[in-house]
Structure 1
């Protein structure tokens, strides 16, 4: 079980390059991977997005990549030797014709920036740098997954505690059900008997009406479904894969059954347990929103 929130960082150096990758994820209904790269790496964005997306199921994930040359490759100076040679020959021709005097000096080259090219080391980009980039993104993704799994384990423990509280409430409701049913039936019979004393009604008809009213107030089916949903909820908490959407659906079903039980119930104790169960449903759903 994984949370959708977490972060992962990785650093690495190889082949004269230094790479830093940071991943951060938050809740999202689906999977949304956003990759931020240096300008020279824009073409690698689809590949890196897929590299991360293949490991995750849900959440908005931001990937930040910084990669730069290190050491002597960090800043390079290149001389356009062909242009300098052509310039030297042209100056020689001018001197032979007597149009200029003197030789070409180093200072003259600095006044001609087109002959010199300063670089940032990109010329050394190759398969080694590509491999470094992929490996560092993979390592950062590993770190993110580890963080999400750790947070997911904490969420699992919190959900299990609330699930146990919910089971206790369901058990109390089930224990009280038959006693309440008998009380309701006895009360209805008393009221119907009083009514029959005033208006002649067949005894059999009174019994049928009493049974019908009790049936409408019975919550046996709702309690059975409630227990089944709670059982399935516990099973999903033991699953290692993505279960957030399934748990969220079960919470909606739990809320529906609890609401029906509350609508059918009239005694104070049941009403209080129903209110407590509704609160547990809200707490469960709030925590489930963080699950992958």
Structure 2
């Protein structure tokens, strides 16, 4: 069954001292594209996250948002650079002597100087962090794909109904088509009578004119191709493969045949059916834009 290109999924996993949340939002797109947004310190994980989502989609744009929070307490070490503090102190004392000022440098002044005291962050196990992010990302992908499948089922149901409506209209055109030439012949004869009264008419010339009209207005080939496209469209809807581009192409071809029927038929009743066909096909075209 077909899949929609839109969907949303969320995943969460804990480990390596982190709580990881991944959200994935998929929208329509001509090609497949995955955009990952995560903290700068973890950009090294971007490619692996992209690969996870690209395995699940063949068409559409997916925005992936990754949030990492510290899970529990983090033990950070305070590091004091004693040698640097001593050099600061000696330099300040020498400067005070040279300027003949009192040297009143306390501990508060020393520890506020740059890099005397630093916090040593615990080193993270990036392999373990990557494992946790991977688990959350796959969970988000599963949720997103579930929604895409569910929406795809609704799309297929709607499209099947619209195909049924198209077939009814096409059948009405097929039933009307054989009478077009005969009606034209009748109208032509009535028009001749209006113009020339009871003046004899060259029946052979009249028959030739009607035959030419019948040939120009013949839509048999267009109807055959249109029905063939409908069959292919219906088979594609039942496929488990990505068929969005194929459906889009078939809609264009069906539109082409319907336009040709409208221009060739030269019949008011068929023209009305053509208007209805084009209206229904426009709705199908809009729905197909959502199919993967």
The worse-fitting range, judged by mean Cα deviation, of 225-234 and 176-185 is 176-185
Correspondence for 2:101: none
Correspondence for 1:58: 59
Q: 1:145 to 1:119 in 2, by over 3 A?
A: farther
Shift in Å, 1:47: 2.4
RMSD, matched Cα: 3.0
Deviations 1:119-156 (Å, cap 9, x if unpaired)?
565x1323221111112112111111111111111111
Instruction: State the distance in 2 between where 1:209 and 1:248 align.
Output: 40
Secondary structure of the structure 2 residue equivalent to 1:124: coil
Secondary structure of the structure 2 residue equivalent to 1:60: strand
Question: Is the 1:8–1:144 contact (alpha carbons within 8 Å) kept by the matching residues of 2?
Answer: yes
Please give the TM-score of this superposition, normalised by the length of structure 1.
0.81
Question: Is the 2:217–2:266 contact (alpha carbons within 8 Å) kept by the matching residues of 1?
Answer: no
**Structure 2 gap segments, 5+ residues each:** 90-106
Secondary structure of the structure 1 residue equivalent to 2:64: strand
Instruction: State the distance in 1 between where 2:76 and 2:112 align.
Output: 15
Q: How many residues align?
A: 271
Q: 1:120 to 1:234 in 2, by over 3 A?
A: farther
Shift in Å, 1:271: 1.9
**Structure 1 gap segments, 5+ residues each:** 92-105
Q: 1:6 to 1:163 in 2, by over 3 A?
A: same
Shift in Å, 1:210: 2.4
Shift in Å, 1:212: 1.8
Shift in Å, 1:286: 0.8
Q: What pairs with 1:199-238 in structure 2 (closer than 5 Å)? A: 204=204, 206-238=206-238
Correspondence for 1:248: 248
Shift in Å, 1:3: 1.0
Q: What pairs with 1:151-190 in structure 2 (closer than 5 Å)? A: 151-188=151-188
Instruction: State the distance in 2 between where 1:158 and 1:118 align.
Output: 61
User: Does residue 30 of structure 1 match 2:31?
Assistant: yes
Secondary structure of the structure 1 residue equivalent to 2:76: strand
Deviations 1:182-223 (Å, cap 9, x if unpaired)?
33345456768998x96986x555533321221101111111
Correspondence for 1:97: none
Secondary structure of the structure 1 residue equivalent to 2:8: strand
Question: Is the 1:25–1:60 contact (alpha carbons within 8 Å) kept by the matching residues of 2?
Answer: yes
Q: What pairs with 1:1-292 in structure 2 (closer than 5 Å)? A: 1-73=2-74, 76-80=75-79, 83=81, 114=115, 116-118=117-119, 123-188=123-188, 204=204, 206-292=206-292
Instruction: State the distance in 1 between where 2:181 and 2:121 align.
Output: 83
Question: Is the 2:85–2:111 contact (alpha carbons within 8 Å) kept by the matching residues of 1?
Answer: no
Question: Is the 2:173–2:273 contact (alpha carbons within 8 Å) kept by the matching residues of 1?
Answer: yes
